[in-house]
Amino acid sequence: MLSRKKKANQALEEHLGRYSALVKDLSEIEEGVLRFKSKLVAVSEIASQYYCEKKVELRRIHGEEETPQIKEGRVAHDLLLKDTEEASTEEILRKVFLGEPVMVREMRLLGRHDDVIIAGMADAILFHGGEPVLLLEHKFSRRPLPFRGHHVQAGLYCHLMNLMGWDTSRTKYALVMAPPECREDGALREIPQHILKNRGERRLMLELESGCANIYINDFDPAKTVDDLNWALDFWRGERSAVPTKKHGKCMVCQFNKLCTASPVKQN
């Protein structure tokens, strides 16, 4: 029988080989066949399609200005990396495949779904026993409830981990909704331990110095995630037009509402 270390090395080589093959395929593509000549589709854009697909299209055509909210979101996610140790992909995966408990932040994920390569970067993934057991996504907003796109995003990260060779049958994902002023609170980095101490709970509330974080814990549903992904990819394959949101409030705050022919608040 193979020793634990040899099994870990074998799993590591297989994983890196699968990842490198996809990177090589991407490098050899001169022009993508997807909409906007894309070579791949990002998880973040797929999630945004569930907010307003027309906005995704207009952002691709006209570009997007960096709003204060976007800047604050980037700063908030950078703060989550505080006190973490930078390590190479090989070092991290070696620990993962040895079965050690490992919390990986901002992990790059890449997989092929049918004929389309999907890419993303997860906020945090907890590995135990060589498999992902918990994925966390942080959203800094005054809205206490997640949008559907947030669930789609987290589910897609789980799907990518499955495509990369991990067993996701026990994987759960947690959506952490916290007010923007809480982004510097160090207690946010303790949320995985908070979830593990409250196994079986579907919703938790964590009091922070400047507010309250609402934590929604969900089982990864592979079938639903694939359905969500296939609907989104129909747009990227050019099989249908962009579907605009029906929410008036989303249009009111959209930077493209003067350009969008589908917007109910379009100003002529």
Tokens of 178: 């916290």
Beta pairing partners, 173: 135, 218
Instruction: Please state, in angstroms and rounded to a whole number, the distance separating the CA atoms of residues 208 and 178.
Output: 9
Containing 178, the helix (H) or strand (E) segment is strand 172-178
**pLDDT score for 19:** 92
DSSP state, 35? G
Biggest CA–CA distance in the chain, Å, is 73
Residues of the chain falling short of pLDDT 50: 1, 76-77, 80-81, 267-268
**pLDDT score for 168:** 97
**pLDDT score for 76:** 47
Angstrom CA distances, 97 to 63, 76, 237, stand at: 41, 30, 36
**pLDDT score for 66:** 63
Antiparallel, parallel or unpaired: β 41-42 and 116-128:
parallel
Report the phi/psi class of residue 114: left, alpha or beta, with left for phi > 0 and alpha for psi in -120 to 50.
left
**pLDDT score for 77:** 45
**pLDDT score for 7:** 87
- The answer for residues whose C-beta is within 8 angstroms of residue 86's C-beta and 6 or more apart is none
Query: Which domains occur in the chain, in start order?
Result: 4-35+61-238 (3.90.320)
- The answer for residues whose C-beta is within 8 angstroms of residue 3's C-beta and 6 or more apart is none
